[in-house]
Amino acid sequence: MTVTEVHIDEMMTPYPDKVRKNRKKHIIIKSAESAACPQIEANTRTIPGIISQRGCAYAGCKGVVIGPIKDMVTITHGPIGCGYYSWGTRRNKARSDDRTPPEKIYTNLCVSTDMQESDIVFGGEKKLAKMIDEVVAIFSPRGINICATCPIGLIGDDMGAVAKEAEERHGIPVIAYNCEGYKGVSQSAGHHIANNNLMERIIGSGTDPRTEEFVIYLLGEYNIGGDGWEIERMLTDIGYTVNCILTGDSSYEEIKDLHFADLNLVQCHRSINYIAEMMKTKYGTPWLKVNFIGVNATIQTLRDMATCFNNPELTRMTEVVIERELARITPALEKFRKICNGKTAFAYVGGSRSHHYQYLLRDLGMEVIVAGYEFAHRDDYEGRDVIPTIKTDADSKNIPELHLTPDEALYQEAHLHLGLSKEQYDTIAAQVPLGDYEGMYPIMRVGRIMVDDVNHYEAEEMIRQLKPDLVFSGVRDKYISHKMGVPSKQLHSYDYSGPYAGFNGAVIFARDVADALVTPAWKLITPPWEEKNGNRSDSDA
Ligand code: CFM
C-alpha cells in the first residue's frame, strides 16, 4: 500500500484542531527521490495527555551516557523509584581488562540515596555526603557520578558543593550531574548534560600520550548485546588501536585519554555529537560519522576510515578483512535473506537506530515504510546543515552550552591528527562524512513516512493501515503490534539477543528477523477487541 496524505489526514481526524496542527508538523512523507528534506518539528514538548514513548533527562544522562562507565559508581540522588526503575534496564555489557579488573566493575549496581519525605522537607545534602562516604568505604571506585532526579532540583540541594567537599575528603573525582528529569523535553537533554560533564571533568585529564598508531575512539556506541566488541574485533584485525568505546564497556581511565585520539568515530550522532564537536574545538580532533549496522554500511564505514588515514597497509588490511568476513558470513546471510526479501517494516527507536538499521534491512531485501525517532533533533532527520537554523526555545536553553577554546598545549589542526597535509585532508573531507551527518531523510524511499515522537494511537493506526510484516521498536509499543498479530523486535535491547553490529551481528539479526517472520504464532492470536463476550477464543485455551 502506498502512503498518501489521505492516510495521515484520516489518522488525524479524531484529534482536536490544536493537536492535529501540532502533530502534522512531526510527520513527513517523502515526495520525490531528489527532494530536499522539508522541515520536521522535533525536540519539542509532547502534548500533555498523549502517551509518548519518550523518557526523561535523568534517563538520558544516567541510563544512557554515564551508566555504562564501568569503574565509576553512579549514585541516583532521589527517591528510590527512579533508581529502581533505571536499574539494569539497558544491556550495556562490560568486561574486565588490564585496566579494569572484575572488582572494579560497578555497572550492575543500583545506588540510591533513597530520599524520604523528611529529606525532601529538610534537604538531602547530608544524606548524599554520607552516601558518598559509604560508597568509597565499600567499593573504593576510581570515581563517583551523582545524578539528580526531579525532586532534587525542586528542593534545591547543592549537589555540586557536596561533590566538591567529597572530592577533597576522598581524593577521587566526584561529579554532579544536574540532570533532573524535567530539564528537557526528553532523554536527549540528559545526553547533553552528560556530554558537558564528561568534557569538563574527565576528558583531557590523562597525561600519558598513546604511542600506538591509528588510535581511534568510538563515540556513541554502548555495547548493547556486545555490539561494541564485534566492532572492536574487526577494527583491531585491520590494525586500528581502539582505545575506548564511549561509553559502552568504557572506564574512567580510558575516557581521560580521549584527547590522544587520532580520529573520533561517531556511531550514535544524537547522544554524543556534543563531545565530538567539543573535541574538535578544543583539541582539533576530527570526527567521522560511521555506521556499523548492516553489511554494506560496515564495509562503507571501514573504507571511509581507511580513506581518512590514507595509509597503504591499513587500506590493504581493510580489504583483506572485508573479503575474509564476507566469505564467512554470506552463505548464512543468503539463507535468511530468502525469507526476509520483499517484506516491509516499521522502525521506531530513540534517536539513531531507525536510520542505521535501514541499511541492515536493505541487505536482507526489506524496506522500512515508517521510520521515526522518540527524541531526535531536526539534524538527525534533515542533516547537520540545518543546525544553524534550529531555533532555541525555553527548553533547549535549560542546558548550558560550554564555550570552549583551543587548548594551548594540545590543540593541533585536524589534518595533523591524521598525519595528512591540509590539501590531502580537504580532498578526503569531500569524499567521506568527516564532521558531517546527513540525517535519516536521504535513505527513505518516495511515499514513505518519517514521524517524530509517535504516540500509542498513531502507532496503532499506522500498523492497521499499512500492515507491515514486522515492527522494530521498544518494550512499550511492542505489545501493541503483537496484539494486532504483527511480530515485533525490540531494537533497544534486541530482546536479549545480539550483537547486531558488524558482520557477525548481521547474521544474528537476520536469523532473529527470519524467525519472527516465519513463526505461525501471530496468525493464531485473537486480539482482545475481537473476542466475543469477553471470552478468550479457543486458540488461547
Ligand atoms: Fe543513541 Fe543508543 Fe539510540 Fe540513544 Fe536510547 Fe539505546 Fe536507542 Mo534505547 S544512545 S539514541 S538514548 S543509539 S537506550 S543504545 S536503543 S533509545 S536509538
Give start and end residues of each alpha helix (H) in 351-403: 353-363, 378-382
Model confidence at 4, pLDDT cuts 50, 70, 90, reads: low
Which residue owns the Cα nearest ligand 1 atom 10? Answer: 351
Half-sphere exposure (CA, 13 Å, Cβ side) for 169? Answer: 17
Q: What is the pLDDT of residue 528?
A: 76
Model confidence at 535, pLDDT cuts 50, 70, 90, reads low
What is the rounded CA–CA span in Å between residue 55 and residue 77?
Answer: 18
Task: Parse the chain into domains and list their residue ranges.
Answer: 57-202
Q: Is the pLDDT of residue 170 over 90?
A: yes
8 A C-beta contact, residue 337 and residue 294: no
How far, in Å, CA of 57 to CA of 309, rounded?
37
Q: Which segments within 63-137 are labelled E, that is strand?
A: 72-77, 111-112
Which atom of ligand 1 is nearest to 188's Cα? 11
The b-or-e profile of 341-378 (16+ CB within 10 A means b, else e) is eebbbbbbbbbbbbbbbbbbbbbbebbbbbbbbbbbbb
- The yes-or-no verdict on residue 232 having pLDDT over 90 is yes
Give 527-533 contacts, CB < 8 A, sequence gap 24+: 527/483, 527/484, 527/485, 528/483
- Kindly give the distance from the C-alpha atom of residue 351 to the centroid of ligand 1, in angstroms, as a whole number: 6
Which atom belonging to ligand 1 lies closest to the Cα atom of 375?
10
Tell me how far the alpha carbon of residue 352 lies from the centroid of ligand 1, in angstroms. 7
Pull the grid cell for residue 369.
Answer: 515504510
202 Cα: distance to centroid of ligand 1 (angstroms): 22
Q: What is the pLDDT of residue 35?
A: 81
Find out whether 483 and 460 touch, Cβ atoms under 8 Å.
no
Q: How far is the CA of 376 from the centre of ligand 1 (A)?
A: 10
- What pLDDT does 187 receive? 96
* Closest atom of ligand 1 relative to the 270 alpha carbon: 10
- Does the pLDDT value for residue 84 go beyond 60? yes
**Residue 184 C-alpha to ligand 1 middle, in angstroms?**
17
Q: What angle do CA 287, 89, 54 make, to 5 degrees?
A: 70
Nearest CA to ligand 1 atom 7: 350
The larger pLDDT score, comparing residue 4 to residue 261, is at 261
Q: Active-site positions?
A: 56, 59, 90, 191
Q: Whose alpha carbon is nearest atom 5 of ligand 1?
A: 350
Give dist(CA 154, CA 180) in Å, integer. Answer: 9
Q: Considering only CA atoms, which residue is closest to atom 16 of ligand 1?
A: 350
Q: Evaluate whether 255 touches 69 at the Cβ level (below 8 Å).
A: yes
Q: pLDDT for 118-131, tens place per residue? A: 999 999 999 999 99
Task: Give residue-wise pLDDT tens across range 176-211.
Answer: 999 999 999 999 999 999 999 999 999 999 998 878
* CA gap 45, 106 in Å, rounded: 34
Could you tell which of 195, 223, 247, 271 is best to mutate to test the pocket of ligand 1, judged by most ligand atoms within 8 Å of the CB? 271
**Residue 167 pLDDT exceeds 50:** yes
Confidence of residue 541 (pLDDT cuts 50, 70, 90): very low
Pocket of ligand 1, beta carbon within 6 A:
60, 64, 90, 187, 220, 222, 224, 268, 270-271, 349-353, 492
pTM for the full model?
Answer: 0.95
Say how many Å lie between the CA of residue 462 and the centre of ligand 1.
Answer: 23
57-202: CATH class: alpha beta
The pLDDT of residue 51 is: 86
Over 201-231, what HEC string results? HCCCCCCCCCCCCCEEEEEEECCECCHHHHH
Q: Would you state the torsion angle of the CA atoms of residues 249, 253, 259, 265, taken in this order, to the nearest 10 degrees?
A: -10
> What cell does 83 get?
533508581
Query: Whole-number mean pLDDT of the chain?
Result: 94
Q: At what angle do helices 502-518 and 227-238 cross, to 10 degrees?
A: 140
Protein residue closest via CA to atom 14 of ligand 1: 222
For residue 18, give the nearest of 56, 43, 49 by alpha carbon.
Answer: 49
- Which residue spans within 30-142 are E strands per DSSP? 72-77, 111-112
Closest CA to 114 of 80, 147, 82: 80
- Looking at the chain, the whole-number percentage of residues with pLDDT higher than 90 is 84
Q: Which three cell numbers stand for residue 177?
A: 550531574
Question: What are the CA-CA distances from residue 242 to residues 37, 92, 246, 291 (Å)?
Answer: 35, 18, 11, 16
Q: Are 434 and 288 in contact (CB under 8 A)?
A: yes
pLDDT band of 540, cuts 50, 70, 90: very low
How deeply is 146 buried, as exposed, middle or buried, from its count of CB atoms within 10 A (0-12, 13-18, 19+)?
Answer: buried
